[in-house]
Structure 1
Amino acid sequence: MTSPPEDTDVADPSLQDVGLAVKRLQWRHHRTANERLAELGVSLVQWDVLRHLGRHPDASLHALAELTFQTDQSMGSLAARMVERGLIERVPGPGRAIRHRLTGRGEEARRAGAEIFDGVLSETLGGLSPAELADLHRLLLHALA
């Protein structure tokens, strides 16, 4: 792992230093994951949709938008492209609702992408001990509460 930028005081970081460190780590994960997921022909945003559909089969477009931090409109455009590529399919739900499911091709991309993303995360978070990882997780969840 690389050392922190010189402009931060590791012993007494400001709230901005901590926030920026979280953002830098997230940016590294996203950039690296996008590069590696491209080998599968999917972006990180597309893989995230596949990941959430794996956990929430038959999710509505609105639910997928919320889970992936997108607007309903952008999720609609993304879903249409993913349907065209055979990664997901639209199925009728109750009433006029439209639900989404993984196709066989989408499930393959989801599984392969999960291995890639785990590899990306292991390059940074994998350097933490199990206790440090548990502490980080607990602290992040506490900050979100």
Structure 2
Amino acid sequence: MTDLETLGQLVKRAQYRNHRTMDAALRDVGVSLVQWDALRAVDRTPSASGHDLAVATFQSDQAFGTLATRLVDRGLVTRTAGRGRRIEHTLTDEGRAALAGGQAVAVEVLDELFAPLSEGDRSSLSRLLETLTANS
């Protein structure tokens, strides 16, 4: 029988390895993993609210607000008034360049991280994780 505690630790260890490696590699582009993830979320959901972006990046509204302020200060994101009290976020040209640089880094890093797995294993892992997270 599978030890679920050990399985949970293995998932956490794989995630930690991914985050640590990506964060270090993204420094060459001038962003952290958290910043790059926020840029991806802004790019994928144009004019999204801060709350929507916080949910997409697994952060609290307050944490995302602080992060967005830093991205605005760095000239990577702009904020504009939306409908009602909604504040909408958009990438600047510099933000799009940082996102693209991060995507190039991610391709290399993820290829290396998943290199020990065959394509069939990668496909199976993806399918299993999708099943595991389908209701979250």
TM-score scaled to structure 1, two decimals?
Answer: 0.86
Match of residue 57 from structure 2: 68
Match of residue 117 from structure 1: 106
The 2-side partners of 1:97 and 1:25 are apart by 36
- Aligned counterpart in structure 2 of residue 101 of structure 1, from 65, 84, 90: 90
The 2-side partners of 1:13 and 1:50 are apart by 38
The 1-side partners of 2:2 and 2:80 are apart by 50
**How many angstroms does 1:118 deviate by?**
2.1
- Aligned counterpart in structure 2 of residue 32 of structure 1, from 18, 21, 30: 21
Deviations 1:8-44, CA, capped at 9 Å, x for gaps:
xxxx641122111111111111111111111122110
The 1-side partners of 2:113 and 2:11 are apart by 12
- Aligned counterpart in structure 2 of residue 142 of structure 1, from 116, 131, 135: 131
Percentage of pairs with the same residue: 46
- The reply on whether 1:14 has 2:3 as its aligned counterpart is yes
Match of residue 41 from structure 2: 52
The 1-side partners of 2:47 and 2:115 are apart by 33
Query: Unpaired segments of 5 or more residues in structure 1?
Result: 1-11
Match of residue 7 from structure 1: none
The 2-side partners of 1:127 and 1:51 are apart by 27
**How many angstroms does 1:49 deviate by?**
0.4
The 1-side partners of 2:34 and 2:50 are apart by 14
Matched residue SS, 2:25? helix
The 2-side partners of 1:13 and 1:39 are apart by 40
Matched residue SS, 1:69? coil
Match of residue 116 from structure 2: 127
* Count of aligned pairs between the two proteins: 134
Deviates more, 1:33-42 or 1:57-66: 33-42
Matched residue SS, 1:127? coil
Match of residue 70 from structure 2: 81
TM-score scaled to structure 2, two decimals?
Answer: 0.92
Considering only CA atoms, is the larger Rg found in Structure 1 or Structure 2?
Answer: 1
Query: Unpaired segments of 5 or more residues in structure 2?
Result: none
